[in-house]
Structure 1
């Protein structure tokens, strides 16, 4: 009873906190000041009363995180299989309580997975090698992507990352349409979490993921490609490098994979015929600067 009383009295955590620090420069100590740090909080995903995964995440847009994770991990096939979602705060962290269809829950129990999400890399604790490859159906791609529109979206992305601007320690995942316009952005201390949040946000909208691309501020690991493909997104653009396994998965799943995306250059690792090498946009006003 005492623990329950403590949990109910807690204030929901914020995405960042202020901490006192000492700053040092070449000419000596500076006065004490305050820095802003991104929060990472233990978040448990609980399905029909059974805890399935615990990850460290930035405690914002948790409904998007839970839905996106459920879809990208193959726990749910679509939004209709999620019957209810409640977020509970406690002294130990946050529990996202989800009620899902009995058939999906039965399949989940049969997978016998023990997950431990983290801000690094990993396969979310799959318990056998045959659990690694889950992209069975090739993705359906829309119209070819314009390199100039990718450049514009990369240039605009930073303006849509308030948490990164404040803390310097958050990843972002954005959905960009075929015209290079940014529509949704989700931030998190973990790159996988940011992408799951974006996937969840898109699913809630019932959006078509074939026309456009996902833009992530991180590298493109195997799991990032897998999540993108399972969400029906036809293209993934990363600011950093992909891994060799990620490229092979992109090729086998028909996903366009771009790495080292900058404002004036990019590298296409899979689906080169789906990227048009046109000239950069001439007008500043044409840059991707619309957030919806």
Structure 2
């Protein structure tokens, strides 16, 4: 890599190595049939697949999955960029028409959906009834704790992060990925495999903006609160309000904006 600094003497350019965030495709198969391909940062791929299936409403508990394993793909050499999931006999098979088989980039979690109605999957968890209360002072500490857990970001500067916190601000798990939706799926997949669903009394913190699909994923896992360091979208706010979730944006330093469910944030 050539680094250029116009403010430096002697031309301001030099060659040096650089660390880059890895990005590779992951194919998710259900009962040997391809369901989706997502561009992701390798690592925690089983959690990613489990979280994706949870977000899509195909599974609701770890017991719905008989096996989930990384498989060798068709690449030479094999990159093991395939996760094959076998669902329990009691789980209905996924819809097989092509409108439900989609490719997702690292920047969009719902690009291939046939319509907005297909995205708006209903959660089986009643997050509106969650009695969670979190002091604003505790929320203000979460971005720093998430940032401290972003080890790969320190090297590359190119990854999103998501983390699960308790109501007292205890970090339970954090994940990084080139895709913000993948980072969330990895967190939710971990929670599902750990038997923690629904995530009553927990907070999901993300390093970027609060988009519709991240709010949707949080709802599907039974999370009562989603907090982000950046802005929410209009659809994210509408969905959070509809679901009875608390949505916090621009969580930076000592300030934050609460866009839905303000009663859960105490001052």
TM-score after normalising by structure 1: 0.83
Q: Which residue of 2 aligns with 1:144?
A: 133
Verify the 8 A CA contact 1:135 1:253 in the aligned structure 2.
no
Q: 2:106 aligns with which of 93, 115, 119?
A: 119
Q: Which residue of 1 aligns with 2:96?
A: 109
User: Secondary structure of the equivalent of 1:154?
Assistant: helix
Please, what is the CA RMSD of the aligned residues?
Answer: 1.8
Q: 2:2 aligns with which of 13, 22, 28?
A: 22
Q: Which residue of 1 aligns with 2:211?
A: 221
Q: 1:184 aligns with which of 173, 188, 199?
A: 173
Verify the 8 A CA contact 2:152 2:159 in the aligned structure 1.
yes
Asked whether 1:237 is paired with 2:227, we answer yes
C-alpha distance in 2 between matches for 1:129 and 1:204? 29
Q: 1:71 aligns with which of 38, 54, 57?
A: 54
Q: Which residue of 2 aligns with 1:60?
A: 43
Unpaired runs of 5+ residues, structure 2, are: none
Q: 1:273 aligns with which of 248, 254, 263?
A: 263
Asked whether 1:87 is paired with 2:74, we answer no
Verify the 8 A CA contact 2:132 2:224 in the aligned structure 1.
no
C-alpha distance in 2 between matches for 1:106 and 1:207? 24
Runs of 4+ in structure 1 displaced over 4 angstroms?
A: none
C-alpha distance in 2 between matches for 1:227 and 1:131? 14
TM-score after normalising by structure 2: 0.91
Deviation per CA, 1:185-239: give whole Å up to 9, x if none.
0110100000000001111111251112000001111111000001111100011
Shift in CA distance, 135/51, structure 1 to aligned 2, threshold 3 Å:
same
**How many residue pairs end up in the alignment?**
257
